[in-house]
């Protein structure tokens, strides 16, 4: 990889962001780090990055919105979305927004580099076990929630459940 390939790393978890930045610098990237959407937009407009790694949930908004905004003025930007709250609906939304991939945290820096630069990687072992009913329910709720633009009241109405019940479900991690 040529020196000076610019990577914008956006995550509001300071220790994780700093650790990943050092790891990606060792892999040949010139890394700029941002802790918020506003900071990321400012940095990317001042000096356009070649690649971006963006956390799904940021303190000042949703990483999907940042992907959409950045792809508008940087159409050739290769973006990978990271999250600790992985689900199929979010992965589909990330790709629709313009991300090239959607990876769970913690991420292996070598795999991240391969995905960013478009190298083929060996597919992860896919479990032959079917999803549990709880997981299927979780995925369905997440898909409907995403389709309503993250509107809790509208999602609750469509799913015919109480809004507070839905909020409790959304605040929990995905079942295994």
Q: Are 99 and 79 in contact, with CB atoms under 8 Å apart?
A: yes
Q: Do residues 35 and 94 both lie within one domain? A: yes
Model confidence at 153, pLDDT cuts 50, 70, 90, reads very high
Q: Is the pLDDT of residue 166 over 80?
A: yes
Q: Do residues 90 and 147 both lie within one domain? A: no
HEC secondary structure over 3-30:
CCEEEEEECCCHHHHHHHHHHHHHCCEE
Q: Is the pLDDT of residue 151 over 60?
A: yes
> Is residue 35 assigned to a domain?
yes
> What domain count does the chain have?
2
> Is residue 46 assigned to a domain?
yes
Mean per-residue pLDDT of the chain: 83
The stretch 71-96 carries a mean pLDDT of 80
The stretch 48-74 carries a mean pLDDT of 88
Q: Do residues 23 and 104 both lie within one domain? A: yes
- Asked which of 10-14, 41-45, 61-65, 136-140 is least confident by mean pLDDT, the reply is 136-140
> Is residue 176 assigned to a domain?
no
List the CATH number of the domain containing 31.
Answer: 3.40.50.2300
Q: Is the pLDDT of residue 123 over 60?
A: no
Q: Are 38 and 30 in contact, with CB atoms under 8 Å apart?
A: no
List the CATH number of the domain containing 166.
Answer: 1.10.10.60
Q: pLDDT value at position 124?
A: 47
Q: Do residues 71 and 147 both lie within one domain? A: no
> Is residue 126 assigned to a domain?
no
Q: pLDDT value at position 126?
A: 43
Q: Is the pLDDT of residue 102 over 50?
A: yes
> Is residue 123 assigned to a domain?
no
The stretch 15-44 carries a mean pLDDT of 92
Q: pLDDT value at position 71?
A: 87
Taking residue 113's Cβ as centre, other Cβ atoms within 10 Å add up to 21
Q: Do residues 96 and 24 both lie within one domain? A: yes
Q: Do residues 95 and 15 both lie within one domain? A: yes
DSSP bridge partners of 104? 83
- The whole domain housing 154 covers 133-171
Task: List Cβ neighbours of 44 (8 Å cut-off, separation of 6 or more).
Answer: 8, 52, 70, 73, 74
Name which of 150, 175, 136, 64 is nearest 167 in CA terms.
150
Q: Is the pLDDT of residue 13 over 60?
A: yes
> Is residue 127 assigned to a domain?
no
Q: pLDDT value at position 27?
A: 92
Q: Do residues 51 and 100 both lie within one domain? A: yes
> Is residue 106 assigned to a domain?
yes
- Tell me the C-alpha distance between 32 and 11, whole Å: 11
Q: Do residues 110 and 70 both lie within one domain? A: yes
Q: Do residues 94 and 141 both lie within one domain? A: no
Tokens of 69: 């905004």
Q: Do residues 82 and 152 both lie within one domain? A: no
Q: pLDDT value at position 152?
A: 92
């Amino acid at each position: 990889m040529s020196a000076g390939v610019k990577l914008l790393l956006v995550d509001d978890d300071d220790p994780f962001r700093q650790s990943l930045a050092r790891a990606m610098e060792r892999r040949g990237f010139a890394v700029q780090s941002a802790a918020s959407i506003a900071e990321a937009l400012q940095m990317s407009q001042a000096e356009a990055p070649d690649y971006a790694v963006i956390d799904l949930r940021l303190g000042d908004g949703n990483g999907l919105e940042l992907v959409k905004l950045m792809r508008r003025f940087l159409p050739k930007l290769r973006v990978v979305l990271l999250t600790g709250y992985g689900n199929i609906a979010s992965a589909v939304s990330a790709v629709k927004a313009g991300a090239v991939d959607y990876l769970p945290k913690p991420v292996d820096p070598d795999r991240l580099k391969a995905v960013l630069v478009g190298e083929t990687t060996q597919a992860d072992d896919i479990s032959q076990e079917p999803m549990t009913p709880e997981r299927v329910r979780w995925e369905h709720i997440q898909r409907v929630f995403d389709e309503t633009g993250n509107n809790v009241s509208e999602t609750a109405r469509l799913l015919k459940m109480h809004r507070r019940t839905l909020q409790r479900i959304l605040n929990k991690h995905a079942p295994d």
